[in-house]
Amino acid sequence: MKDEHIFIVRCGEVALKGMNKPYFERMLVERIKKLLKKFGDVSVKRHEGLIFVRADAALDKNALIKEISKVFGVASISPAVECESTMEAIGEAAVAYMLEAIEERGIKTFKVEAKRADKNFPVKSPDIGRQIGAVVLKGCKVLKVDVHDPDCLLFVDVRHDKSYIYQDKIQGFGGLPLGTTGKGLSLLSGGIDSPVATWMMAKRGMMIEAVHFHSYPYTSQRAQEKVEELASIVATYCGRFRMHVINLLPIQEQIVQNCPEEETTILVRRFMMRIAEKIARKTGCGMLITGENLGQVASQTAEALVVTDASVAMPVMRPLIAMDKVDIMDKAQEIGTYETSIQPYEDCCTVFLPKHPVTKPKLDRILASESRLDCDALIDAAVEADEVIDIFPR
């Protein structure tokens, strides 16, 4: 039992995909293999509706679990021991497992929960639980059965060729395997919201590319480095991706010189969306992703979002649209981006910020203001100066 680590990995929504389930499972296996490649010789295989990960016992079990849990599509992970599918072998393995649990955790009560995946196995699930419980009681004199609140819930999973014993079901993030729902371009800033939005769309199986806007020299190099650091944290979940870096300052200066001050924010936002759409079409992205949240700031009122969307033909995904700010902050802390996001560096959206931004813009007025600018030339110049950075997992 000590020769290797064995992990049972369970799928989340993948299990509901009907005829497409094998495709989603294959994608999930490939993602787990890719993430665990750095550990060396690790086996990842599908078998009877589950995914089994096997690794050398010398490897750090907790490190392996941490990496597997980051894979979108994984619902839960159980470190397990394997034995032959006979009642005698299961009983021996269960006793050895519980003796180790007593030594490590000092448990005093337990309950056995058995599942017979192999319906040809001669003993039914309730009887497996009762018989294995009796064997454990005999082999572990200090233990007592507690069916209501046990220190250890011992699972016995009986399958055709092998059976598995485990106690923990460590939660993963669920979602769908990366690459199963296309590719999106995220407008990534240094704030709290956009990294969370990017992570949430990756959790839904979307491959990520990103674009970041800066206003150098009004925004510093350190501000860009902050965004790169945030992107690298997101990349620990969705893998390596590319980030396009665009200098927005020439466009902002033209807007300030030629357009009403109160429209500056919404006009800048429309330019950002159009630049992002152009990059998205060049890079094979099917939609844009933003961290906008309804009513949070002037550019995120219902009216402003309608005017913003009118600037592009591509669908815009806003996964945070109805979330409370506190919930977004909690998610940022969970995925590890919060502490970086709150570092006090400038953002291009704070440059030339009007004192009284329009909160209910009218599209015809915004279009009239844009007619004073050579929009196509400004957008083309910004895209041509695109700086592409490869983002690697942190």
pLDDT of residue 100: 92
Find the radius of gyration of the CA atoms of the chain: 27
Tell me how far apart the alpha carbons of residues 269 and 303 are, in angstroms, rounded to a whole number: 13
pLDDT of residue 14: 64
pLDDT of residue 1: 46
Query: CB–CB of 117/157 below 8 Å?
Result: yes
Q: Which residues pair with 45 in a beta bridge?
A: 52
State pLDDT tens for residues 278-295: 999 999 999 999 999 998
Tell me how far apart the alpha carbons of residues 50 and 46 are, in angstroms, rounded to a whole number: 6
Length of the chain, please?
A: 394
pLDDT of residue 15: 58
pLDDT of residue 300: 87
Closest among 71, 76, 75 to 31, alpha carbons compared: 71
Tell me how far apart the alpha carbons of residues 373 and 380 are, in angstroms, rounded to a whole number: 13
Share of the chain above pLDDT 90, in %: 80
Tell me how far apart the alpha carbons of residues 372 and 85 are, in angstroms, rounded to a whole number: 77
Query: CB–CB of 209/238 below 8 Å?
Result: no
Cα–Cα distances in angstroms (integers) from residue 164 to residues 98, 155, 318, in the given order: 14, 8, 42
**Sign of the C-alpha dihedral, residues 259, 265, 269, 272?**
positive
pTM of the full structure:
0.89
Q: Can you read off the two tokens belonging to residue 302?
A: 């219902």
pLDDT average per 10 residues of sequence, the chain (394 residues): 85 68 86 91 87 94 94 94 95 95 92 93 95 96 93 94 93 91 96 97 96 89 93 94 96 95 94 98 97 87 95 97 96 96 79 83 96 97 96 91
State pLDDT tens for residues 126-184: 999 999 999 999 999 999 999 999 999 999 999 988 999 999 899 999 999 998 899 99
pLDDT of residue 49: 77
pLDDT of residue 2: 60
Strand positions, DSSP E, 159-313: 162-166, 170-171, 183-187, 207-214, 241-247, 287-289
Query: CB–CB of 75/107 below 8 Å?
Result: no
